[in-house]
Structure 1
Amino acid sequence: MSNNAIRKVGGALLAGTVALSLAACGSASDGEDDTKELSIGLIRAWSDTEVAAALLEHKALELGYEVTWEDLNDPPLLYAGVAQGDVDVYASAWIDRTHKEYYERYDDGLEILGKYHEGEGNMLAVPSYSAMQSIEDIHDHWDEIGQQIVGIEPGAGLTQQMVEEVLPAYGFEEADMITSSTPAMLIELQSAMDAGEEIVVTLWSPFWATTQMDVRPLDDPLNAFGDSEGIYYVGTAGFAEERPDLAEWLEDFELTEDEFGSLENLIVNEYEDGEEDLAIAEWLEDYPHVFDES
């Protein structure tokens, strides 16, 4: 893992809270202010949301919007913020399964704007050198991994899926998985790999760590994680009516695996926070027609 990558995931611990005042933006000048504004919600620790936010910002700026990012660290809070209109859109919502509960909880205030990528999935992962091949093998190496599976944020959809489906399917208890944060999990993973030790962590794809770190998924013979799912842009109900230009683009926009992975690597490992526009500029040299095709 690069120093820049460690800095970026570590900095995500400083994520803010929803800015309630956003809903009041644009009310000045007695309704005569024609400024188009867009607030994008994301969780920086999860790099797919950075990719989705950067892409949406790029297009929104082209269309004349003023764009702000709301960096959060709790999925339910983010869904609630979008449903209440405090944030305009959640970049990278996994609503088919991983975030299904959160979406259904607030769906009266939400609007699906488009699916930009297909083929996502959650997993339990190990270093490539691990003797474990399947989730079933964890029991045989339980002492070697410190009698724990290393998870991420307690409020993450992946954590909920582990507790409700994966752990019981394979004979584990909720207490067999520790939770903290994505940055903390990555630090634990890197530390174990540096020492050549066994470790099992919760991961997902697309996520830069699954391709940039020397890890692999454990087989899931019981299919406890289920089939792959899509990633969506989800906005406040009425988004398409208020922003038809952006909604039209989001409805048709889609990335291939190569397109997504290339941009994710640039944003996470090659550029600093706040330089996402530079990452997209370099990326467009290899994929110049991405925005034209949607």
Structure 2
Amino acid sequence: MSKSKVKYAGLALSLAFGLIIAGCGSDGRGEGNGSQDELEIAYVERDSEVASTYVISQVLEDEGYDVTVTSIDNALMWEAVANGEADGMVSAWLPLTMGEQYEAYADQVVELGHNLEGAKIGLVVPEYMEADSIEDLSDEASQTITGIDAGAGVVESAESAVEEYGNLKGWTVQTSSPGAMVTELRRAYDNREEIVVTGWSPHWKFQEYDLKYLDDPDGVFGEAETIDTIVREGLEEDAPEAYQILENFYWEPEDIEEVMLAIDNGAFPEDAAVDWVKENQDKVEEWTEDIE
């Protein structure tokens, strides 16, 4: 995906400013005549979203579109699609994880349905730990839950769990980043130390390590979720073929975890996407069916 341009989450403010300017100028978008050939797909810098965004962007590029993929803060991602500064995203965890953002922008975006089902969030520990439920926790892992970035839905749910469960009195949620969380998990796992992390599926860590979700009897983390595709208003008129491909995009947890694991093992996201697309043409043909 040589044409794809990646902007990192640490530049979120610069991105927001740049997106606003881009939205005011010429960006290759059509005037409702199906002429748009440049697309911008926004995503949050998490392993599952990196995998799905690069794969669908590769498919779109193979169909002739010039695709820019933009890593951006969660709240800015929703705002960018709602304002038409980005064309879409395949990263909407619903109904709980990004439910607040969906409620805020639902009437300004177009929801194209699920691209993956069976997604889940919760507290995750190694199988060698004795705890099987959140209620079993007492003083493990120095009473610390290792989280990801502040404001992430799974982190907010973890903070709610600390308030909801009486046995978690005195516990703290330590925020960091997805990469830092995985580093801590790997270190603890290799040394068979206790650790509690904010986890989500799909994620390659469940293929790499023997892990388990802690039961959540109070339902703080909600039920199984879906990952949905969201696009800006007007995309169907401006780029009908791209709209159709995005609407058709749907795969299984084992598909996305295959791409995620390849990236974790050292492949560049672009290369992992190219390899998966080449090896799964039957599925790609379902997404591009009837596209001229």
Q: Normalising by structure 2, report the TM-score.
A: 0.83
Q: 1:191: how far off?
A: 2.0
Note if contact 1:114-1:250 (Cα within 8 Å) is conserved in structure 2.
Answer: no
3-state SS, counterpart of residue 289 of structure 1: helix
Q: 1:155: how far off?
A: 1.3
1:256-279 superposed Cα distances (whole Å, 9 cap, x missing partner)? 233222233223325124424433
Tell me the C-alpha RMSD between the 2 structures. 2.8
CA distance in 2 between partners of 1:174 and 1:243 (Å): 53
Aligned match for 1:167, one of 149, 162, 168: 162
CA distance in 2 between partners of 1:277 and 1:138 (Å): 39
Q: 1:12: how far off?
A: 6.5
Q: Does 1:108 align with 2:107?
A: yes
**Structure 1: which 4+ aligned runs deviate by more than 4 Å?**
11-16
Q: Does 1:253 align with 2:249?
A: yes
Between 35-44 and 207-216, the greater mean CA deviation after superposition: 207-216
3-state SS, counterpart of residue 132 of structure 2: coil
Partner residue in 1 for 2:130: 131
1:200-242 superposed Cα distances (whole Å, 9 cap, x missing partner)? 1100001122322332211223333221111011112222222
Map 1:1-294 → 2, pairs under 5 A: 14=10, 16=12, 17-18=15-16, 19-20=18-19, 21-23=21-23, 24-26=25-27, 36-44=37-45, 46-72=46-72, 74-139=73-138, 142=139, 144-164=140-160, 166-171=161-166, 172=168, 176-281=172-277, 284-285=278-279, 287-294=280-287
Partner residue in 2 for 1:3: none
Q: 1:100: how far off?
A: 0.6
Identity of aligned residues (%): 31
Gap change, CA 1:27 and 1:149, over 3 Å in 2: closer
CA distance in 1 between partners of 2:243 and 2:233 (Å): 12
Partner residue in 2 for 1:4: none
Note if contact 2:112-2:246 (Cα within 8 Å) is conserved in structure 1.
Answer: yes
> Where in structure 1 are there 5+ consecutive unaligned residues?
1-10, 29-33
3-state SS, counterpart of residue 90 of structure 1: strand
**What amino acid maps onto 2:67 in structure 1?**
V
**What amino acid maps onto 2:251 in structure 1?**
L
Gap change, CA 1:183 and 1:27, over 3 Å in 2: closer
Q: 1:175: how far off?
A: 6.1
Q: 1:54: how far off?
A: 1.7
3-state SS, counterpart of residue 219 of structure 2: coil
Q: 1:39: how far off?
A: 0.6
Q: 1:97: how far off?
A: 1.4
Note if contact 2:146-2:174 (Cα within 8 Å) is conserved in structure 1.
Answer: yes
Note if contact 2:84-2:232 (Cα within 8 Å) is conserved in structure 1.
Answer: yes
CA distance in 2 between partners of 1:104 and 1:155 (Å): 16
Q: 1:75: how far off?
A: 0.9
CA distance in 2 between partners of 1:49 and 1:248 (Å): 20
> Where in structure 2 are there 5+ consecutive unaligned residues?
1-6, 30-34, 288-292
CA distance in 1 between partners of 2:260 and 2:26 (Å): 31
Q: 1:15: how far off?
A: 5.5
Partner residue in 1 for 2:3: none
Gap change, CA 1:77 and 1:175, over 3 Å in 2: farther
Report the number of matched residues.
274
Q: 1:35: how far off?
A: 5.6
